[in-house]
Structure 1
Amino acid sequence: MNNRVTIGSMYPLPGRPADVRTSSSGPSILRTSESQFEQVLQQQQLQLIFSQHAVQRIQQRGIEMPPETMTKLANAVDQAASKGAVDSLIVMPDVALIVNVPNRTVVTAMDHTQLSNTVFTQIDSAVILH
């Protein structure tokens, strides 16, 4: 008499990440939740994060960040990342931002009036967009 019980085989748990289905060819694992996880992960990796300091500067200086600007900024960060940049100055027609590229975090922002006679330190790259 075999009274051996294998954990998880007697009562399958609902909502498991991968459902095991038995067919004539044997058990197969559906990986739909893994592909959904990868999609969510990729979307999260493409998003930019604004530090509290950057948010304060954007609000204080009345800088507008419409979706087109955000798209250009994300593309600029991607370009900087492809070159191995760590801290990058991204200059656009109306705004300049310092971004920590590996973390995809905007550290600070300034409008075009504050760009003249300004020295930027502790950056290793610059992306200039027009």
Structure 2
Amino acid sequence: MSLNNYPAAPTGSRRISQQLNQTQIRKQERANQHYNCSFNELLQQELGRPQGVKLSAHAEKRLQERSIFLSQEDFTKISNAVQKAAAKGSRDSLILYRDMALITNITNRTIVTAMDGKSMEEHVFTNIDSAVIIK
């Protein structure tokens, strides 16, 4: 049996196909609007955007166990400290803030663990390449 013996597709399916194609074209046009910026413009936008600091599950647990509560203002100050450490090329930093010590992965912008004054009795911190003191 040759292909010519098959009936033509109904006009309704052609309309659906055309509508799908038009929808895809509109989606692509909207996506392309984001690419109209130069690379330098996009880079400057990303660099200017404030980056938040995340808490690891371990850090969240430690904060709860030690009854340490961080406000939005605290997170802003910590985020600024992380930004400064990143600018200096740090990867893992000890951030001293109030009576807390925060071990922070600078690359991932993540607080890995948190200690209060009582927990810092050993006075030894390992696997860090920098320290930032927030006043």
Compute the TM-score of the two structures, normalised by the length of structure 2. Answer: 0.68
Could you list the runs of 5+ residues in structure 1 that have no partner in the other structure?
1-7, 21-28
Q: 1:105 aligns with which of 95, 99, 110?
A: 110
CA distance in 1, matches of 2:71, 2:123: 25
User: Take 1:44 and 1:72, find their aligned partners in 2: how far apart are those partners?
Assistant: 15
In the alignment, structure 1 residue 90 sits paired with structure 2 residue 95: yes
Select the structure of larger CA radius of gyration.
2
Deviation of the 1:12 alpha carbon: 1.7
Q: Which runs of 5+ in 2 are unaligned?
A: 1-17
Counterpart pick for 2:27 among 10, 13, 16: 16
Superposition map of 1:13-52 within 5 A: 13=23, 16-19=27-30, 30-31=33-34, 42=46, 46-52=51-57
Q: 4+ residue runs of structure 1 moved beyond 2 angstroms? A: 17-20, 29-34, 41-45, 112-117
SS in structure 2 opposite 1:110?
A: strand
C-alpha distance in 1 between matches for 2:129 and 2:114: 17
Aligned length: 111
- More strand per residue: 1 or 2? 1
Q: Report the aligned-residue RMSD.
A: 3.4
Greater share of helix: 2
Contact 1:87 1:99 in 2 (8 A): yes
